Amino acid sequence: MPQTASKNARAVQRQTARPRIVSVEDDEDVQEVLRTWLSRDYDLVVLPHGEDLIDEVQLLQPDLVMLDIGLPGPDGLLLCQRLRRLSRLATVPILIFSGRQDDEAFLSSVQAGASSFLLKPVTKEELLGRLSELLER
| pLDDT (0 to 100) of residue 14 | 56
Determine phi and psi for 26, rounding to 5 degrees. Answer: -90, -20
Residue 115 lies in a domain: yes
Residue 6 lies in a domain: no
* Domain enclosing residue 128, as ranges: 17-136
Asked whether residue 19 carries a pLDDT value surpassing 80, the answer given is yes
Residue 103 lies in a domain: yes
Query: In the chain, how many domains are there?
Result: 1
Residue 119 lies in a domain: yes
Q: Residue 46 and residue 57: Cα distance in Å, rounded?
A: 12
Q: Supply the pTM of this predicted model.
A: 0.85
Residue 73 lies in a domain: yes
User: Would you place residue 32 in the very low, low, confident or very high pLDDT band (cuts 50, 70, 90)?
Assistant: very high
How confident is the model over 35-80, as pLDDT tens digits?
999 999 999 999 988 888 888 888 899 999 999 998 888 899 999 9
Residue 107 lies in a domain: yes
User: CATH no. for residue 87?
Assistant: 3.40.50.2300
